[in-house]
Chain A
Amino acid sequence: MAKKRVLTTRTVRNLEGSLFMAPWLLGFIMFLGFPLVFSVYMSFNTLKILPNKMKYNFVGLKYYHEILFGSSALYDELIPYFQEVIFMVPVIVIFALLIAIFLNQKLPGRLVFRALFFLPVIFSTGAVLQGFMSQGEGGLGFIQGDAINGFMDTYLADSSWGKPVKAVLENFVMVLWYSGVQILIFLAGRQTIPVSAYESARIDGASPWEVFWKITLPAMSPFILLNLIYTVVDMFTFPSNPVINLINSDNYGYSSALAWIYFIIILVFLGIIMLIYSRVNRGSSRRR
């Protein structure tokens, strides 16, 4: 009589796990992994989709060379947007942190306020935001007044750094729209700080100002990093981003090469942020 094969409990558990993982894995390979690898391939080719076939023509690094050294198209779009991002990211993170602290207070209608601040994330899409911005709803009303507008024109004019500052102010409402997720992360982070830490600080006679700098901010630092990364990625991949528009061309090879160059630029930028963050964090830990 043949010996009956029995799977060990461990194998069954592993198989179970693999089966649970399989939908995600399949989805990842089909909808992310394969397109990613294929886009690398496309970036070295000219691709045309003809009615009966896809026609490839190998061009090597031509598109990479053209984008980086043969044309100013990328730089014309990237540099001004990059300058805007440099202003917007700290503004968004600080705004989200302050609102999160505010929403953590025990105040009447707290739940409604929390919902209100998160609402834009739920119903806003790139097209909706574009619509608002094109209707001039992205700015702050009081800035449009003659006094402030005149002041900005006089002192910022159209200098290379003046323009992005003006652009940020003109679309300042975007900060609110960009901040929903960050507020939620900060709120969750704020709730991880034990109440006892605040109680003991109060007993020791610390003022709210000191409590913020000595307890809240240090405890929130991992969430600040998380939000920095999230905000940078969110801004660099936002549909109205001019570089994304440039990528959305009818030359798939060129677009793929540009997308990969842009990806590496974002990666380097994130690396620099993490480096600066770790230096600052290490310095403040030593001071404490």
Chain B
Amino acid sequence: MKTKKALSFLLVSIMILLAACGQTNQGASGNDSSSQSPSESSKPSPAIETVEWDENGPETTVKVMYPWGEDNFKTFVLDRYEGAYPKNITLECVCIAAELKPMQEMNAKGIVPDIIFAGFGIDPLVELEMYEPLDEYVQKYGVNVDQFNKAVIATYRGMDPDKKQGLIGLPTFVDTVGLIYNKEVFDKFGVPYPTGQLTWDEVADLAVKMTAKRDGIQYRGLELGAGFTGGEALKPLQEFEINWTDPETGEVLIDKLPEVKKYFEQMKKFYSMPDLYNKDPEARGRYQFAELTVAMTVSYPAFIRWGMGGDPDKLKNIDAVPVPVWEAGGTGPNVYSHPYMLNKYSENKDAGFQVMLGFAKAENEDPVTSPRYEFATNPVYEGKNMKAFWDYNPAVPPVISKYDKLVDIEGSLKDFAESDMNIDEHLRKLKEESEVKIKEAKSLEN
């Protein structure tokens, strides 16, 4: 009997111990009805007085959530943005990727970053209710957001999960593209170099002229992304201000949109040109433009360095013009910039906002002349028309649909190019595949 009592006592003690251990979580668990929702916090106060950050105020440390480790943090944040944020603020790296799992592990450890580099999309921050719309701070510090890339700001407003056009973050470097061409190939075929922005039809006309064998080497007039099926092949489609899916219901719209059909017709035109599309499976994994056998490609400005290997001999005949558009004066591909976002749970929101603002202003300097950018300092870009990469009006989809990424148009291009290119059939198949993915994603939503 006494033994049983002793054992009972032991078990009860263990339970009490466990209950005590779990108390910190228990107290915080359960459906939260008291905490402020993001939409509530996003409402700007009607009478906020504009103030200035006091650089002579107390020293503050801002924790920056950054995914690529301390060394890169030093190079690409501390050194790059030196002097760009208030001098009484010190930055500290929370070197964790802003993805759902690492962020939850971070939360469990009680680490609270003040600002977050959303390099993996904003969904994890929205899921974990960690984002804070910036409108209140923009108003409070009298920031003119029009100074930043308007298309990116409009995209951020379109990404507001509360659908209230709230500003979800401030931009960093804006990814833009241009038409990069190889003068040597143009010379070989006796075609004059492009001098300004072309239309996709004009690009097609040029491409067909420069797709032929010379001296036993197969030349091609155009390549969009590695092997003509990479991400850059979507640029013509990204020039339309459309959503591929309904942002509310997730309905796949690609088979109903005339713009999508127009894009596939253009791609069919490219893929149907004899020898323009390289059927060799290995071609999908490399940029043939870098092998100097392609006349034109659409890519990012830094492609001239990383894509071409930085070899001065290779680069001497490379130049650029603005990205092609559907019609003269039309919109170019939409642009994006991974934002810094303010953590709703930060205790240093004002200081965090000042840091984000400093970063955004630094990144907003002219990329062709500012010493912060490689385009002004790296000799590989010398003498090239680098301004062309920023010389277009980017498209802005009305609302950003989170389901668009589940429609894998890029992944379907290889099959399209190597099939009989029946557009309706291809879109129907792609729609069905996308519907399965969206259904699965929705079933796991709360």
Pairing of A with B: yes
Q: Which of A's residues lie within 8 Å of B, judged by CB?
A: 7-8, 10-11, 14-15, 18, 22, 25-26, 29-30, 34, 46, 48-57, 59, 62, 66, 70-71, 73, 249-252, 254
Interface range for B? 35 or more
Complex interface: chain A residues within 8 A of B101 (CB):
249-250
Complex interface: chain B residues within 8 A of A252 (CB):
104
Distance between Cα atoms of A57 and B29 in the complex (Å): 10
Distance between Cα atoms of A166 and B352 in the complex (Å): 55
Contact yes or no, B28 A54, CB < 8 A: yes
Contact yes or no, B3 A53, CB < 8 A: no
Distance between Cα atoms of A250 and B97 in the complex (Å): 13
Q: Which B9-33 residues have a C-beta within 8 angstroms of A?
A: 10, 14, 18, 21, 25, 28-32
Contact yes or no, B3 A55, CB < 8 A: no
User: In this complex, what residue of A is CB-closest to B2?
Assistant: A11
The smallest beta-carbon distance between A23 and chain B, in angstroms, is 11
A8, A25, A46, A52: the one contacting B14 at CB < 8 Å is: A25
Contact yes or no, B29 A56, CB < 8 A: yes
Interface pairs (28), CB distance under 8 Å? A10-B3, A11-B2, A14-B6, A15-B6, A18-B10, A30-B21, A49-B107, A50-B129, A51-B112, A51-B128, A51-B345, A52-B35, A53-B30, A54-B29, A55-B30, A55-B31, A55-B32, A62-B443, A66-B443, A66-B444, A70-B443, A71-B440, A71-B443, A73-B440, A250-B100, A250-B101, A252-B104, A254-B444
Distance between Cα atoms of A30 and B345 in the complex (Å): 30
The smallest beta-carbon distance between B97 and chain A, in angstroms, is 12
Q: Which B92-151 residues have a C-beta within 8 angstroms of A?
A: 99-101, 104-105, 107-108, 110, 112, 127-130
User: What per-residue 1/0 map shows which CB atoms of B278-298 lie under 8 Å from chain A?
Assistant: 000000000000000000000
Q: Which 8 A-B residue pairings sit nearest by Cβ, starting from the closest?
A: A53-B28, A250-B100, A250-B101, A49-B104, A14-B3, A51-B345, A54-B29, A49-B107
Contact yes or no, A51 B32, CB < 8 A: no
Distance between Cα atoms of A66 and B30 in the complex (Å): 24
Complex interface: chain B residues within 8 A of A7 (CB):
2
Distance between Cα atoms of A59 and B112 in the complex (Å): 29
Answer yes or no: B7 CB below 8 A from chain A CBs. Answer: yes
A18, A55, A250: the one contacting B29 at CB < 8 Å is: A55
B10, B18, B128, B129: the one contacting A22 at CB < 8 Å is: B10
Complex interface: chain B residues within 8 A of A50 (CB):
32, 107, 128-130, 345
Beyond A50-B128, A51-B107, A54-B28, whether A250 also contacts B99 by CB under 8 A is yes
Complex interface: chain B residues within 8 A of A14 (CB):
3, 6
The smallest beta-carbon distance between A27 and chain B, in angstroms, is 11
Distance between Cα atoms of A55 and B130 in the complex (Å): 13
The smallest beta-carbon distance between A258 and chain B, in angstroms, is 12
Answer yes or no: B446 CB below 8 A from chain A CBs. Answer: yes
Q: Which of B's residues lie within 8 Å of A, judged by CB?
A: 2-3, 6-7, 10, 14, 18, 21, 25, 28-32, 35, 99-101, 104-105, 107-108, 110, 112, 127-130, 343, 345, 439-440, 443-444, 446
Complex interface: chain A residues within 8 A of B100 (CB):
250-251
The smallest beta-carbon distance between A124 and chain B, in angstroms, is 26
User: In this complex, what residue of B is CB-closest to A14?
Assistant: B3
Complex interface: chain B residues within 8 A of A29 (CB):
14, 18
Contact yes or no, A52 B104, CB < 8 A: no
Complex interface: chain B residues within 8 A of A34 (CB):
18
Beyond A49-B108, A50-B107, whether A11 also contacts B32 by CB under 8 A is no
The smallest beta-carbon distance between A22 and chain B, in angstroms, is 6
Contact yes or no, A57 B128, CB < 8 A: no
Beyond A11-B3, A50-B130, whether A251 also contacts B112 by CB under 8 A is no
The smallest beta-carbon distance between B152 and chain A, in angstroms, is 27
- Looking at A48, A57, A71, the one whose CB has the most chain B CB atoms below 10 A away is A48
Contact yes or no, B6 A51, CB < 8 A: no
Complex interface: chain B residues within 8 A of A10 (CB):
3
Distance between Cα atoms of A55 and B31 in the complex (Å): 6
Beyond A48-B127, A49-B107, whether A18 also contacts B444 by CB under 8 A is no
Contact yes or no, B14 A26, CB < 8 A: yes
A8, A18, A25: the one contacting B6 at CB < 8 Å is: A18
Complex interface: chain A residues within 8 A of B446 (CB):
46, 57, 59
Contact yes or no, A53 B127, CB < 8 A: no
Distance between Cα atoms of A55 and B128 in the complex (Å): 9
User: In this complex, what residue of A is CB-closest to B112?
Assistant: A51
Distance between Cα atoms of A39 and B3 in the complex (Å): 32
User: In this complex, what residue of B is CB-closest to A19?
Assistant: B10
Distance between Cα atoms of A262 and B129 in the complex (Å): 31
User: In this complex, what residue of B is CB-closest to A15?
Assistant: B6
Complex interface: chain A residues within 8 A of B31 (CB):
55-57
The smallest beta-carbon distance between B19 and chain A, in angstroms, is 10
User: In this complex, what residue of B is CB-closest to A7?
Assistant: B2
Distance between Cα atoms of A15 and B6 in the complex (Å): 7
Contact yes or no, A70 B10, CB < 8 A: no
Complex interface: chain A residues within 8 A of B25 (CB):
53-54
Complex interface: chain A residues within 8 A of B30 (CB):
53, 55-56
User: In this complex, what residue of B is CB-closest to A63?
Assistant: B444
Complex interface: chain B residues within 8 A of A26 (CB):
14
Complex interface: chain B residues within 8 A of A25 (CB):
10, 14
The smallest beta-carbon distance between A112 and chain B, in angstroms, is 44
Distance between Cα atoms of A73 and B104 in the complex (Å): 24
Distance between Cα atoms of A20 and B220 in the complex (Å): 79
User: In this complex, what residue of B is CB-closest to A29?
Assistant: B14
